[in-house]
Amino acid sequence: MWSTKARSWRRRNKRGVSPIIATILLVAITVVLAAVLYILISGFTKGPGNTPLGTAYTFGSATQTSNGAAPTFCVAQAAISDWCDNLPVGSAGGGISVASLNFAIRDASGTPVSFTHGTPAIQLESASGTSIATYSFTTSTWTVGGTTSLSTTQTIVLDTGCTISGANLCSPIPTGLVLYALGVGSYSGSVQVTLV
């Protein structure tokens, strides 16, 4: 009698997944895992704004100049406390254009800076000094030449925009401030340069 009960218990607990269903489940799981790995490896999960800006663009070393010393863009403000920084394009890869950059000026602690008696502006100049694109801090847009491709032969000229004459009337003096280029569109993050 005991052996009959043991056999019936074994028969009752043998109900499991049939070999065919187990094979189908195993194949389905394998296909799903392979698809997830393919997506991760091929970069399909990488959406707009995920390319770090620093991989495509960097600043060169900044050099400061006053309105009387150089570029035409700075001279136009005609104020002796109007300062400009010349910022060569250090690197520009992958066909990056000016439309991929916005700008911000901050102090050493990262706080945004406001200038008195004027508004900063940026101009992109060719190797010959010709203006090829202009950026407005007021609208945070490129008002001229927004589709211009960046190259290492170009210079970004930052003008503090002082419109009043007299030493130190425009503040803060930009020395030690930081200019940030912020990624736009398919670029994220920022690169920075300390003004001199």
pLDDT, one tens digit per residue, over 7-56 is 555 555 556 667 888 888 889 999 888 877 666 665 444 445 578 999 99
Cα 154 → chain centroid? 19
What does the pLDDT look like over 84-119, one tens digit per residue? 888 999 999 888 999 999 999 998 888 998 877 778
pLDDT at 164 over 50: yes
**Rounded CA separation 61/35 (Å):** 46
Q: What is the mean pLDDT of residues 167-171?
A: 66
**Rounded CA separation 17/194 (Å):** 67
| Phi, psi angle pair for 146, to nearest 5° | -65, -15
**Rounded CA separation 192/142 (Å):** 19
Tokens of 39: 């997506």
Q: What is the mean pLDDT of the chain?
A: 81
Q: What is the mean pLDDT of residues 4-9?
A: 56
Q: What is the mean pLDDT of residues 58-78?
A: 71
pLDDT at 72 over 50: yes
Helix intervals (H) in 43-145: 72-75
Instruction: Please state, for a pLDDT cut of 70, what percent of the chain lies above it.
Output: 73
Beta pairing class for 83-92 and 63-66: antiparallel
